[in-house]
Structure 1
Amino acid sequence: MPPVEAPGTLDAGVFRSVFRRHAAGVAVVTAQGPAGPAGFTATSLTSVAADPPLFSFGVSVRSSCWPTFSAASYVAVHVLGAHQQETAALFARSGADRFGAPTVWAPGPHGVPLLEGAAAWLVGRVAALVPAGDHRIVVAEAVAGDPHGPGGPLLYHQGAYHRLPDPSAPVPAQRSTGAV
């Protein structure tokens, strides 16, 4: 086992490398602001509590969408399906026109942008913005949602997107090899 570093001295590269080993679901988070819709790709989506229904995600205070999220009363989280790798990449790209073509979206509950084709989505009322280093943890109470979108999950692991099989897809019959 490698030596343990003293508290507070862990190299940022080591920290990022550890979390690259953690497979995470991929979500796009959106909000509506005075200048229009804003959104970003997140792997930090977490269920916080069931009663009341709370979820959280992290957003960098250095991101271009932070001003919109810092003032938003409502946000939407979209759990992306395996078919949405391009959407994940678009919303992760700095300077991209995230809500232009080919993105298909419409205003949802409380005016938040809802992306078409997500595996699932929630709209939440922002309950807290918790300081956490150069990020804020947004805690929101779910007020609307739909878990019935298409496809299996999209995952992020080791710096790349990955797909799991769609659990609702029929399992192909296996052929017998004739061996006993």
Structure 2
Amino acid sequence: MSEPVEGSAFRSVMRRVPAPVVVVTARGETEARGITIGSFTSVALDPPLVSFNVGQESRMHGIMETCSAFAVHVLSEKQVHLAKRFATPGLTADEQFEALSYHTRAGSDLPLLNDVTARLLCTPEDSIVAGDHTLYVGQVVEIEEPPDAGAVLYYQSSYRGVGSELPSTELSPVKRVSSDSS
């Protein structure tokens, strides 16, 4: 069996793969925090499940281990500042939310960011240790869809907008001599 590639080489290649940018917020036993995520994806439709990875050394990891709910915020193209804020290491929980537009619901201290493209409210479903990260799976229990304001991608070490739809170049159908050809 081959040895794994070096982390720096792997990171270099993964920078070529555009990734959606979301901010996940959750409340643990003592504080609420948020984290910028570039590994967000849907997992299943029945039940509706989503997943993302959190580094085991991050402050958010402990929050995710104890939270009873979390929110996934799909950022609008005008909210790159939120992606940068929640990706800044060393901020206290108070500093993360300082001067930001967010709210909580009655009976919940879960911070919900305002003016996002979409918000998914989730309950923890499962977690899987994967190397130096933990993969969290959540069941989507509520969706909020304000008007679409674009989305943010991470590509080549920078934040990007979604941009315009690309045209598709169609290939001519393959002509077969007989239906038995493969």
TM-score by length of 1: 0.83
Q: What displacement does 1:25 show?
A: 1.1
SS in 2 for 1:98: helix
Deviation at 1:166, TM superposition (A): 7.8
CA deviation after TM superposition for structure 1 residue 9, in Å: 3.0
Are 2:78 and 1:83 equivalent residues in the alignment? yes
Q: Which runs of 5+ in 1 are unaligned?
A: 1-5, 168-180
- Residue of structure 1 equivalent to 2:145: 147
4+ long deviations beyond 4 Å? none
What is the rounded CA distance, in whole Å, between the counterparts of 2:106 and 2:52 in structure 1? 19
1:84, distance to aligned residue in structure 2 (A): 0.4
In the comparison of the two structures, how many residue pairs are matched? 161
Return closer, same or farther for 1:113/1:13 CA change in 2, 3 Å cut-off: same
Q: Which residue of 2 aligns with 1:98?
A: 96
SS of the residue aligned with 2:97? coil
Q: 1:145 to 1:166 in 2, by over 3 A?
A: farther
Specify every segment of 5 or more residues in structure 2 that has no aligned partner in the other structure, as ranges: 166-182
Q: Distance in 1 between matches of 2:164 and 2:117?
A: 11
User: Which structure has the larger Rg?
Assistant: 2
| Between 86-95 and 157-166, the greater mean CA deviation after superposition | 157-166
Q: Percent identity?
A: 35
Q: Is the 8 A contact 2:29 2:67 kept in 1?
A: no
Asked if the contact 1:45–1:58 (Cα under 8 Å) also holds between the matched residues in 2, the reply is yes
Query: What is the Cα deviation at residue 8 of structure 1?
Result: 2.6
The 3 A distance-change label for structure 1 pair 109 and 88 is: farther
Residue equivalent to 2:177: none
SS of the aligned residue for 1:143 comes to strand
Q: Against the structure 1 CA distance between its residues 114 and 13, is the aligned structure 2 distance closer, same or farther, given a 3 Å change threshold?
A: same
**Alignment-mate amino acid for residue 58 of structure 1:** N
**CA–CA separation in structure 1 for the residues paired with 2:123 and 2:106:** 10
Kindly indicate whether residue 28 of structure 2 is the aligned counterpart of residue 33 of structure 1.
Answer: yes
2:47 match: 52
Which amino acid is 1:74 matched to?
A
Matches within 5 A, 1:1-180: 7-96=2-91, 97-101=95-99, 103-108=100-105, 111=108, 112-165=110-163
**Aligned pair in 2 of structure 1 residues 110, 123: CA closer, same or farther (>3 Å)?**
farther
- Inter-partner Cα distance in structure 2 for 1:47 and 1:108: 25
TM superposition shift of 1:14:
0.8
CA distance in 1, matches of 2:61, 2:107: 19
What amino acid sits opposite 1:72 in the alignment? C
